[in-house]
A and B are shown apart, each in its own frame.
Chain A
Amino acid sequence: MSNKVQIRSRQYADSSVRTGNNVTHKLMGLAAEIWKYRLSYLFIAPFYAMFLLFILVPIVAGVLLGFTYFNAIQFPTWVGWMNYQNLFSQDIIFLQHVVPNSFKFALFVGPLGYVCAFFLAWLIAQLPNVLRTGYALAIYAPSLTAGIAMTVVWQVMFTGDRTGYLNSFLLKWGLIEKPMLFVQNKDYLMDVMIVVSIWASMGIGFLAILAGILNVDKTMYEAGRIDGISSRLQEIWYITVPLMKPQMMFAAIMSIVYTLKSGAIGTQLSGSNPTPNYAGQLMINHIDDYGFIRYELGYASAISVVLLLVCYLLSRVFGYLFSPKEGE
């Protein structure tokens, strides 16, 4: 702290000495400042170089490519807003299937998965310490399964004839009369996708929420009871959630990232892109379809930009909800 004050006062002294306070002096001051912190830049350099190369520059390039026609062979040609115009006026698959599907999938896997994670974490937090780890592990374990590996499980589980586990089970108990085509039928594919995604969604965000709930000072609940909080729900709403905003924010971000990443599940389950009757087609699959099957890279980039914008807006909403207010 004192060090910082010293630096400040030295800066003020410097600027008052240099009465001719022109641009070169300012720049030299900045250069000196940067030189003084050269070690800090050395610390961030390895990560930030990779970050620039593989995240920031690609994002900028992706935005630019969105304004071009690019087929991966010829040099991209500038087409202005054309890709976006086509996307929102002519791409019937996008408007009729991809947007409603993405919305439905995101709504269930995102908010519903998030609420489930909170509810389960809260239940686990009510138990004594010795039992917690076991349950937390059981609920966390599915998120450890790598997407591709699990295809093996799901494909056998949901096989369309009577040898499939689910079909066999339902037939045995007389719940259905003939085997159902779970992943090839357009009516069921989306539901299966949602169930599988929620099953595997209790990852690091869930652990963060659990940690947050356990971290709340127990005396706060007693104080709350004196102040007239009567039910468990009120406790959660007025005490638990406000006290764990950072963890809620982190879990929300992880939830959005997860929802985005799990978009490929439809093609993994049904084994084809596009999915049967576009029933499980999400934004990610649509990008893959145009980018790496049809090689219309400019158009695929434009869809990516739309997706990035949606995610950015969502994160701002969560940031607004969970950012610590002044004085907290």
Chain B
Amino acid sequence: MREVNNKMLRRLYWKRREIALAIKRFDRSQQLIVLFLTLLSVFMLLPIVYILNHAFKPLHELFQFPPTFIVRNPTFQNFIELLSLTQNTFVPASRYLLNSIIVTFLATAGMVTTGALCAYALSKHKFPGAKIVFGSIIASLLFAPETIAIPRYVIVQGLGIMNSYFGHVLPMIAMPVGVFLIKQFIDQLPNEMIEAAKIDGSTEFGIFIRIVVPMVTPAIATITILAFQNAWGNAETSTLFMQDDSMKTLPFYMATLTSNLANSVARQGAAAAGALIMFLPSLIIFLLSQRKVITTMAHSGIK
């Protein structure tokens, strides 16, 4: 118990004293909760600790018996292998990585911008048809792109955006959850504030940039995370809409690496390194904005 607590204290070292004081004040039920949650957290984090360690294991440790959890002699060998693996084919792994970065950036930026614009108009402008538009967005909240992959394929082909970044980005921009979340936040802003800005001579766009966006940053941070995760881990657009290998993204490459992994010895290390590369950006983005997401969501809430 003390050991686990210590570990946690180290992680939150800047709050060390505060936590120590808090633990001293605990009653019995809170102690039980802490014990339970600590054990559970360790269990939840096991695979993630594993992936961090696995990526740095040299080859003989990857296949050691009995298997070891923690890496003994960390090395960058796996990352080098990952990068050199495809150098005998046409497309190097760095190309997939570059594609992934470009696509994720464009898709996230596009989703957040278009989503926020749409949400503002839906929330504060009572234009004819607003109800129908919002209704259709609500109804498709549950939509899973996998179910209608076939017509999507036909449309992407018809638009002539196969094998281009548009083919990756445009389908990902259509994310109803984003508009829904931001709209729920903008609904809470008092109309009087927007009216006042209008009287002061602000344009609609000025109101949006200077008043609405700063007020709904928690929702925008949340949506950024969602859109980022969605785009970064998305293999669907590569599989369906890209025939040209040099236009595919990292998740697709990972899928080719990991297929039949259980039966093969080769590429284990490269796959582990790739998995770490896939996981880290999501974690970093979340760590950077988690304060905003967790604490501000708690104070303003989704209503």
Contacts and interface: CB of A to CB of B under 8 A. Distances in A.
Contact of A163 (B67, B159, B229): B67
Contacts of A47: 114-115, 117-118, 173-174, 179
B173 A50 contact: yes
A210 B302 CA distance: 11
A308 B143 CA distance: 7
Contacts of B66: 168, 172
A304 B37 contact: no
Interface in A99-146: 120, 123-124, 126-128, 130-142, 144-146
A150 B128 contact: no
Nearest to B15: A130
Given A150-B47, A208-B297, A271-B259, A291 B141 contact: no
B150 A297 contact: yes
Interface string B179-197: 1010010000001100100
Contacts of B30: 126-127
Contacts, number: 312
Contacts of B290: 133, 137
Nearest to A315: B142
A252 to B, nearest CB: 10
Contact of A261 (B18, B144, B192, B283): B144
B54 A156 contact: yes
B152 interface: yes
Interface in B3-37: 8, 11-12, 15, 18-19, 22, 25, 29-30, 33-34, 36-37
A63 B141 CA distance: 17
A5 interface: no
B140 A59 contact: yes
Interface in A73-99: none
A58 B156 CA distance: 11
Contact of B142 (A132, A139, A253, A284): A253
Contact of B174 (A54, A65, A160, A292): A54
B74 interface: no
A54 B170 CA distance: 8
A1 interface: yes
- Chain B contact residues, majority secondary structure: helix
Given A40-B121, A250-B302, A287-B146, A134 B8 contact: yes
Contacts of A146: 229, 232-233, 251, 278-279, 282
A146 B232 CA distance: 8
Interface in A1-17: 1-4
A304 B184 contact: no
Contacts of B148: 55, 58-59, 61-62, 301, 304, 308
A151 interface: yes
B112 to A, nearest CB: 10
A134 to B, nearest CB: 6
Contact of A308 (B47, B115, B147): B147
Pairs A-B, 9 closest by C-beta atoms: A146-B233, A138-B41, A43-B121, A61-B151, A37-B127, A149-B278, A211-B297, A47-B118, A58-B151
25 contacts: A33-B127, A34-B127, A47-B115, A47-B117, A50-B114, A50-B170, A127-B30, A131-B34, A139-B40, A139-B44, A141-B48, A146-B233, A146-B278, A148-B278, A149-B254, A153-B51, A153-B54, A164-B67, A199-B44, A208-B297, A215-B298, A246-B301, A256-B142, A292-B149, A304-B148
Given A58-B155, A145-B279, 19 more contacts: A4-B126, A43-B117, A44-B117, A47-B115, A47-B117, A51-B137, A53-B174, A55-B140, A59-B143, A139-B44, A146-B229, A148-B233, A156-B268, A165-B67, A207-B293, A246-B184, A257-B144, A307-B147, A315-B141
